[in-house]
Structure 1
Amino acid sequence: MTVDPFIEAEKQSGHNVKRACELLKVSRTAFYARRTGNPGPRAVRDAELTGQIAAVHQHSRGTYGAPRIHAALQRKGASCGRRRVARLMRAAGLQGRHRRRRHLTTIPDPRAAFRPDLVLRDFTPDPTAIDTRWCGDITYIPTAEGWLYLATVIDIASRRVVGWATADHLRTDLVADALKAACRQRRPTHPVIFHSDRGCQGGFNRSSQHLVIV
């Protein structure tokens, strides 16, 4: 749909054509060129640039936005400004893909008490040490209704998930529920070392490691 009739109507009403073109994001030179049926040099150059922009955008599989397309055109020797590229992309309905903002997952809790390294940084599998060392972590899952948090408990010896729980919060209950599920599933007959980071999200008793007495 062309906006030229609206601009023409504004002009006939005595309003400022320049202001109308700015509000509708239309080149004033292009408007007058179309009005007279003789496109000016800027309109011709815009058409050429739009073709080059579309080619670069397609080559990038639709991932490049205005900054990267502008850089690509500059490397090819094209003389144009970044704002001009952005304007022509908007006019052509082209846009790049934005990386999803990373969700900060681990925030050390300054109030967390220090605990000794009971596993001595040894996370190698050991079939003879089943249910002696567990470790836990929380995964952030984006959904249409917000973030879903998945807490897992893994047996270090077998690297199998032995317990898990989900929730829409990061309170201690989330990790506790996952640990309870692991105890119900495995039913260990002796104390188990549970290892986790010292993040404040869902921190179990605010400690990095502790014994699970069963």
Structure 2
Amino acid sequence: MTPYLRRRGHEVGIGTVDRLMGEQGLSGVVRGGKHRTTIAGKGGGHRRAPDLLDRDFTAVEPNRKWVTDFTYVPTWSGFVYVAFVIDCFSRMIVGWQAATIKDTAMVTTALKMALWRRDHAGHTIEEGLIHHSDAG
């Protein structure tokens, strides 16, 4: 509302407009809507994996615990989704992937990159690595 009033020649402050609109029970237009990155499967037949980390995101050596998540960044032409894999020992991003669609391939590509990069850096992945995501 403030830009609208200013374009019409009124000298108004944003705080004043917010206060007056609030007193009248009005709110301005909010562009866009809430954007969800995780949508549960239909039918309730999907079970999440157990949380093997029990919220302990520390590690005594590299390649023992990795955490994964993905988020989105709004851009002028739409959303860009970014998945990343972090080693809990060093807090280093060991794998990532960006895409304009959120799908399983985006997340698995980030994991494949992490496995490839760690192996080629001389940090061989051994049995016992825990890969954790906020979905279980």
TM-score computed with the length of structure 2 as normaliser:
0.70
Q: 1:170 to 1:121 in 2, by over 3 A?
A: same
**Residue 60 of structure 1: which of 15, 25, 35 is its match?**
15
AA paired with 1:150?
A: V
Q: Which has the larger radius of gyration?
A: 1
Secondary structure of 2:13's aligned partner = helix
Report runs of 4+ in structure 1 exceeding 6 Å deviation.
none
AA paired with 1:190?
A: E
Alpha-carbon displacement from aligned partner over 1:83-110 (angstroms, at most 9, x marks no partner)? xxx9xxxxxxxxx563653212233333
Contact 2:69 2:85 in 1 (8 A): yes
Q: CA RMSD in A?
A: 2.9
> Aligned-pair distance for 1:59?
4.6
Counterpart position of 1:145: 77
Work out the CA distance in 1 between the residues paired with 2:80 and 2:114.
20
> Aligned-pair distance for 1:70?
3.9
Is 1:112–2:63 an aligned residue pair?
no
Is 1:172–2:77 an aligned residue pair?
no
Contact 2:65 2:132 in 1 (8 A): yes
Work out the CA distance in 1 between the residues paired with 2:31 and 2:56.
35
Percent identity between matched residues is: 36
Contact 2:95 2:111 in 1 (8 A): yes
Write out aligned runs for 1:11-30 (5 A). Answer: none
Q: Which has the higher strand share?
A: 2
**Residue 129 of structure 1: which of 39, 50, 61 is its match?**
61
TM-score computed with the length of structure 1 as normaliser:
0.47
Alignment length, in residue pairs? 120
> Aligned-pair distance for 1:178?
0.2
Write out aligned runs for 1:151-170 (5 A). Answer: 151-170=83-102
Q: Which has the higher helix share?
A: 1
Work out the CA distance in 2 between the residues paired with 1:113 and 1:71.
44
Q: 1:166 to 1:111 in 2, by over 3 A?
A: farther
Counterpart position of 1:40: none
